[in-house]
Structure 1
Amino acid sequence: MEIYKKDGFFQNYCETARKDISSNKFNEFAQLDNDEKRFGFIKSMKSIITDLKLSHQFNGKNLEKSLQFKNLGNKAFQKESWNEALAYYNMCYLSIPDSNEQGKAIVLANRSAALYHLEKYDLALKDIQRAIGHQYPKEMMYKLRERQARCYLGKKDHVSALKSFKETVQALDDCQLPLERRQKLERDAQIMINLLPRNIEAEKKLTKSKKSAGVTSKKSAIPEHFVDKALYFDYTENEGRFAKTNSDLKPNTILLLEKPYVSVLLEEYSLTHCSRCFKRASVPICCPKCSDVIFCSENCAKSSSFHQFECGFLPILWKSGASITCHMALRMITQHSEEYFLKLRSELAALSSKETDKLTNDDYRKVYKLVTHEEKRSAEDFFQRSLMANLLNACLTLGGYYSTPESESYIGGLLLHNLQLLQFNAHEISELQRESERDIGNSVFIGGGLYPTVALFNHSCDPGVTRHFRGNSICVRTIKNISADSIVAENYGPIFTQVSRDERRNTLLHQYKFECSCRACGENWPKFADMNPNILRFKCDGSKICSNVLEIPAEVNEFMVLCTECGEHTNIMKGLKSLQDTDMLFKSATKLHSAGEYEVALAKYVEMMNIMNEVLVPPYRDYHLCQQGMRSCMLEFGNRYIKTKSNK
């Protein structure tokens, strides 16, 4: 995986730096035996901050631009184009300078009005509170209190609505409206103040009757982190650590739910998704200083301490052409303090797997020992990554991360280490995007994440699991039957149904430094397009334990088939009847999938696969069509976005 793209300034800088170093100096660099020394060598040779004239870049805040967006939002609001108004108010809020406190309050109030008309009452209420917190004008406060009351009415929270209508009456004392207009608003509020106590009393009686009847409305909580008890991790010298199962696994078993150690959005999604949790933020919270990121809530904004050291430097990273793994390498540092890493310094190298397995996912020690293939890297590779580590370190230096210069070389070495381990352990985070509700959709790469447990899964070109994402959390599910004591493998990119063996192996060797020996490669399974639909691959059903595959023409006349391996006969009549059932199940599942009944469709696909698993042996077309149907259903349980729906 390349650490930079060719359309950024880093490539030219790297090529120039390489030309400037003499052969003797480069040989000296090539002999260095650890990352801290490599980082320090390049730092002593190049002053990146001076060479590239690096400094904070706060380009997004602009009062004139924010006023233009507000005016466009107001025009859209007057036309009752609520979604359009919301979009403009978001852009206004993002671009308004932090010093303009009252301007912020007014645009937040305007945004709350658009949200109210969209019946997004909870979001509107949050914006009302934000507007009040930003010193919304006292003479206009009656508008917010009345809107707050209407939002609570929409939520059927009549107690809060009553309180807000009373606050509306009080706020009218400070308004500057003509007397007649003010009196009308006061009369309207008083009518609600008189009516609501009856509603509240009726609600109390209804709640009491529900309690006496034993009616509850508890929802089962979805855990943030979960590892199936069947999953464990083995080790061999050749394969390292890898996932296995100690019991039989059925298709659609959730094996793992995991939050990332680190995650980063691509630049093109930095203003549509929350920088911390990756949820789409239709009502964003912005950074006071920059317009490069957004958050979905105050909680996410407060929990994103990493941004204080990245604020003003993201445009530099993006312009440099640095890959997303470079940004992840930086954030692996910025989400902890300098002091945190200094405390870990003496124990990082001595960590064992047993120790790291017990650590939480936010602990750097959990990921430090992940494979880097340091021994297979060339001096040229180390040179480029060391130079990139120095660019990332420049952001830390200018961002005020360091309290003492002595720690810079050590942290720089960790940046270089991070760049190496991320190459082999990071995952692309995806979102299923559709142009319309009827569109089949595409799984789109929106960011990257490092998942300490999933990173231990080995590869197969015929994987046993698939993954989807909820925000930036990963969910791993089985897509076939996996027998006890078997490897549980995921896929690193090329799947045998789509890519030839030679191409797959070349890709994996180049990118991940291993030659694949999975079953699909070992037996050189055909691509999906090359599978013969007229041949069925039956399991030998003889009394002896036999792993032979009986390849039978689809139009067969003999139902007792002799196995050439064990010498016994298999009656394929039962299998043929079962396959008739799978045809019906597939049609039913496909229809349910198209209708949006994803849970039911998935259950049909699972039933179909279990039937096929009893009698047939992959590879064969129906099996892999069934798997693809399962994957498509599972994607529906993760990140999804329908473009036209959001614009209605």
Structure 2
Amino acid sequence: MEIYKKDGFFQKFCETSRKNINQNVFNDFAQLDSDEKRFGFINSLKSVVAELKLAREFNGKNLDQSLNFKNLGNKAFQRESWNEALAYYNMCYMATPDSNEQGKAIIFANRSAALYHLEKYDLALKDIQRAISHHYPKEMMYKLKERQARCFLGKKDHVSALKCFKETVQALDDCQLPLERRQKLERDAQIMIILLPKNIEAEKKLAKSRKPERVAPKKPPVPDHYVDKALYIDCTVDEGRFAKTHSDLKPNTIVLLEKPHVSVLLEEYSLSHCSKCFKRVSVPICCPKCSDVIFCSESCAKDSSFHQFECGFLPILWKSGASITCHMALRMITQKPEEYFLKLRSELGALVSEDTDKLTNDDYRRVYKLVTHEEKRSAEDFFQRTLMASLLNACLTLGGYYKTKDSESFIGGLLLHNLQLLQFNAHEISELQRENERDVGNSVFIGGGLYPTLALFNHSCEPGVTRYYRGNSVCVRTVKNISAGSMVAENYGPIFTQVSREERRNTLLNQYKFECCCRACAEIWPKFSDMDPNVLRFKCDGGKICSNVLKIPAEINEFMVLCTECGEHTNIMKGLKSLQDTDMLFKSATKLHEAGEYEQALAKYVEMLNIMDEVLVPPYRDYHLCQQGLRACTLEFGNRYVKMTSKK
């Protein structure tokens, strides 16, 4: 990935800085041999650093704006446009200054009312508790207690509902309503207080009379982190470190579940997804100082200590044109305190990869040794990245990150190191987005993540695995049979079915600094559109030792085919008969996929792949169509979003 986009101020900053530096000074910079020295050199050029002129920007908190959103929300609520009201109340909450505690209490209460009408009772109950904790006015507490009771009724929790109706009656003592209105509310609550014990008792008797239902065995919880026991990391001079398998892997096998070492949302998703876990958020928790990020819960907000050093600087990063990898490079630092890195300082240079592989994903040492291709970089490349490291460091300095003198060059050097390793090891985090339930959908880039194990998977233009995301965690599944002793490869972008070999190789060489020699490149496989559907590529089974491919016309009258290499005959009758079954399987898998029966659809796709693997040799159209179906199914288990129109 590039470090910046051309529509931000950083490009101009780079160009100006380069012009203002004497060539002799630049030559001195080019001779430096460590990231810490490079950063220290540029950071000492005060004329360069001063040019940044950074200052925190706290945008979005405005009392007048919050009141406007509140009024719009109230009008939508009166029209019974609950989703519209919820959207305005969210905007009101985001714009409300942190000092206006009672204003927040009111908006939490209003939002809980919209959620109640949307039958999102658990979310409504959480907002009711938030309103209470923010000192909701005592004279209005009866509203919250009555709504709380109604939410519990909606959840069929009659015991809790009864308790809340009793609290409603007590809260009415503090209200300032006209006597007639107050008496009506009290009568309504008293009716429920009389009825609910009878309902509770009746439910108890009914429960005793019922035969105990057979409880289905609970599925084991999905682990946060999982690596298939067959996977291991090998290393060669040509391939570097890469994933292989000790045993045969079947299609649709989950080989990896992994949380990121670091992850960052794109700007356009910073107010729709949780900044910590990347879940879509309908009822946000916001930062008390800025309106640039949201969280799905108080728990995620509490665990996002990195934001205290990024708060107020995100608008600057976005306006600079800095790529998402730059933000990730910064967060690799902000998610840990300064003293954490200072303790690692003496050992980072002597790390051994085999030892770091055993560390947890949040340990910086786990990712420090990932490839940077430092030896292939030009002085100009280092110069631009060091300038970006200076920009990121300015955010740390102004944000109060540093507590120790003389640590700035070391941390700045880590920022520069991070910018290099992320270029080749970061992954795009995606979400399957649909206009409606019947839409096929598109996989959309919403953020970036660094996955220590996944980063070690090498590339193939004909990959053996596919990946999808649950929040910001990645799941990797196989899409073909992978034999023991083989590389387990993923794909870095260009797929052979869609992009020509020359274009693929140029892209990979420019972006990742290697020339691809995968099977599809070595054998010059055709793109999908160029595959001949009238030719079948059969395996030669003569003696079980011949690797020749028998190219058979789809319309053939002979069933014994002579191999020109081993001289043996192959009986293709069995293969042709088994291939007839794949047409029905594909139709069945497609219908199951469209019906939302994804596990059953996957089973059909796997059955097809196994049949074709027995007799055919890729590239083969039906084989790759089947893989495409399998990949599409797996996306359904990851992040998904269906755009909804507002409704009452």
- TM-score of Structure 1 vs Structure 2, range by shorter chain: over 0.9
The number of residue pairs the alignment matches comes to: 648
Aligned to 1:467: 467
Cα distance in structure 2, aligned partners of 1:331 and 1:97: 26
Larger mean Cα displacement after TM superposition, 589-598 or 68-77: 589-598
Cα distance in structure 2, aligned partners of 1:199 and 1:218: 30
Cα distance in structure 2, aligned partners of 1:47 and 1:107: 48
Distance 1:607 1:465, change over 3 A: same
Distance 1:205 1:300, change over 3 A: farther
Following superposition, the deviation at residue 646 of structure 1 comes to 6.8
Distance 1:244 1:153, change over 3 A: same
Cα distance in structure 2, aligned partners of 1:96 and 1:51: 34
Aligned to 1:232: 232
Cα distance in structure 2, aligned partners of 1:382 and 1:208: 74
Following superposition, the deviation at residue 216 of structure 1 comes to 6.1
Cα distance in structure 2, aligned partners of 1:310 and 1:209: 59
- Which amino acid counterpart does residue 577 of structure 2 have in structure 1? K
Distance 1:213 1:639, change over 3 A: closer
Following superposition, the deviation at residue 195 of structure 1 comes to 2.0
Whether the 8 Å CA contact 1:436–1:645 is kept in 2: the answer is no
Cα distance in structure 2, aligned partners of 1:590 and 1:13: 53
Following superposition, the deviation at residue 203 of structure 1 comes to 4.2
Following superposition, the deviation at residue 198 of structure 1 comes to 3.0
Cα distance in structure 1, aligned partners of 2:219 and 2:496: 41
- Which amino acid counterpart does residue 132 of structure 1 have in structure 2? I
SS of the equivalent of 2:588 reads helix
Distance 1:249 1:207, change over 3 A: farther
SS of the equivalent of 1:32 reads coil
Deviation track 1:41-67 (CA, whole Å, cap 9, x = no partner) reads: 110114566323211101110111111
- Which amino acid counterpart does residue 126 of structure 2 have in structure 1? K
Whether 1:141 and 2:141 are equivalent positions in the alignment is yes
Q: Is there any run of 5+ residues in structure 1 with no aligned partner, and where? A: none
Aligned to 1:75: 75
Whether the 8 Å CA contact 1:245–1:488 is kept in 2: the answer is yes
SS of the equivalent of 2:557 reads coil
- Which amino acid counterpart does residue 104 of structure 1 have in structure 2? K
Q: Percent identity?
A: 84
Whether the 8 Å CA contact 1:544–1:566 is kept in 2: the answer is no
Whether the 8 Å CA contact 1:36–1:410 is kept in 2: the answer is yes
Cα distance in structure 1, aligned partners of 2:556 and 2:404: 79
SS of the equivalent of 1:192 reads helix
Aligned to 1:121: 121
Aligned to 1:597: 597
Please give the TM-score of this superposition, normalised by the length of structure 2: 0.98
SS of the equivalent of 1:85 reads helix
Task: After TM superposition, list the pairs within 5 Å mapping 1:435-514 onto structure 2.
Answer: 435-514=435-514
- Which amino acid counterpart does residue 541 of structure 2 have in structure 1? D
Aligned to 2:184: 184
Whether the 8 Å CA contact 1:149–1:162 is kept in 2: the answer is yes
Cα distance in structure 2, aligned partners of 1:512 and 1:4: 17
- RMSD across aligned positions (CA): 1.4
Cα distance in structure 2, aligned partners of 1:245 and 1:557: 41
Cα distance in structure 2, aligned partners of 1:49 and 1:153: 61
Task: After TM superposition, list the pairs within 5 Å mapping 1:197-346 onto structure 2.
Answer: 197-204=197-204, 215=215, 218-346=218-346
Following superposition, the deviation at residue 179 of structure 1 comes to 1.1
Deviation track 1:152-192 (CA, whole Å, cap 9, x = no partner) reads: 11111122111111111111110011111111111111222
Whether the 8 Å CA contact 2:52–2:391 is kept in 1: the answer is no
Following superposition, the deviation at residue 219 of structure 1 comes to 4.6
Following superposition, the deviation at residue 636 of structure 1 comes to 0.7
Whether the 8 Å CA contact 2:112–2:128 is kept in 1: the answer is yes
Following superposition, the deviation at residue 402 of structure 1 comes to 0.3
Task: After TM superposition, list the pairs within 5 Å mapping 1:510-549 onto structure 2.
Answer: 510-549=510-549
Aligned to 1:407: 407
SS of the equivalent of 2:545 reads coil
Whether the 8 Å CA contact 1:254–1:478 is kept in 2: the answer is yes
Cα distance in structure 2, aligned partners of 1:86 and 1:542: 69
Cα distance in structure 2, aligned partners of 1:336 and 1:199: 54
Following superposition, the deviation at residue 644 of structure 1 comes to 2.5
Whether the 8 Å CA contact 1:542–1:568 is kept in 2: the answer is yes
Whether 1:428 and 2:428 are equivalent positions in the alignment is yes
Whether the 8 Å CA contact 2:60–2:95 is kept in 1: the answer is yes
Following superposition, the deviation at residue 403 of structure 1 comes to 0.7
Following superposition, the deviation at residue 220 of structure 1 comes to 2.9
Cα distance in structure 2, aligned partners of 1:436 and 1:647: 14
Distance 1:567 1:262, change over 3 A: same
Aligned to 2:397: 397
Cα distance in structure 1, aligned partners of 2:496 and 2:104: 54
Please give the TM-score of this superposition, normalised by the length of structure 1: 0.98
Cα distance in structure 1, aligned partners of 2:514 and 2:37: 28
Whether the 8 Å CA contact 1:265–1:278 is kept in 2: the answer is yes
Whether the 8 Å CA contact 2:82–2:647 is kept in 1: the answer is no
Cα distance in structure 1, aligned partners of 2:591 and 2:623: 18
SS of the equivalent of 2:406 reads helix
Distance 1:411 1:469, change over 3 A: same
Deviation track 1:489-541 (CA, whole Å, cap 9, x = no partner) reads: 00000000000001000000000000000000000000000001110000111
Whether the 8 Å CA contact 2:462–2:496 is kept in 1: the answer is yes
Aligned to 1:11: 11
Cα distance in structure 1, aligned partners of 2:52 and 2:394: 10
- Which amino acid counterpart does residue 55 of structure 1 have in structure 2? A
- Which amino acid counterpart does residue 441 of structure 1 have in structure 2? G
